[in-house]
Amino acid sequence: MEHPRTRPAPYGPRRDRPPRPPLPPQAGRAAGGGVARSARPARVPRRRPAPAARPAPAPAARRLPHPRLTGLGGGLFCSLVMLLLGLLAGASQTVYGVLFLPVCVVTAMWVREGDLLTAPVVVPIAFAVGLVPVADDGGGSGGRLMGLVTALATQVGWLYAGTLVAGLIVIVRRARTVDRRAARGRPRG
């Protein structure tokens, strides 16, 4: 069986102090909701303090592109660039190896944060893809395969250096991402 409520409601008019006067109508509105025809000026909102000055952005001509590639997009980008560099480098494997390092840096910088770990994986694959036109071909498919294996063996220093550079960039970017997320979750004190 239900009992009726015996305590007063927590809301409603309070008896220990006098009632407040009604609020004035909003600027430009009459009490009944219509438009007021008074000469009273509208309220000026309070000004907020100006935010801290930010440095001006660099001009568009000097700004580097900052795309965000997926893991697959980073692999395709790196492979296509290395294939083009392999075609342009001709038979010079040293030039090809030197040009491999900046491609590794750019690939590791442009891969988005969710796919960071793919950059050190796709870089060696792209090195091998681009090395196909650079490698000596001894005639036939067996000679081309032997030339590719020989080129990989002789240019392994460039391959390791590029993979190491991409790995270090990925580790630094990942650490910065983790720090930012931790700082966002930490209460300000």
Q: What is the pLDDT of residue 141?
A: 82
Q: What is the pLDDT of residue 79?
A: 94
Burial class of residue 89 (count of CB atoms within 10 Å of its CB; 0-12, 13-18, 19+): buried
For residue 145, what are the β-bridge partners? Answer: none
Q: Is 35 helix (H, G, I), strand (E, B) or coil?
A: strand
What's the token pair of residue 70?
């997926």
Average pLDDT over the chain, rounded to an integer: 81
pLDDT 10s digits, 160-183: 999 999 999 999 999 999 998 888
List the chain domain ranges: 90-183
pLDDT 10s digits, 37-93: 555 556 666 776 666 666 666 665 566 567 788 889 999 999 999 999 999 877 788
* Pair 86, 98: CB distance under 8 Å: no
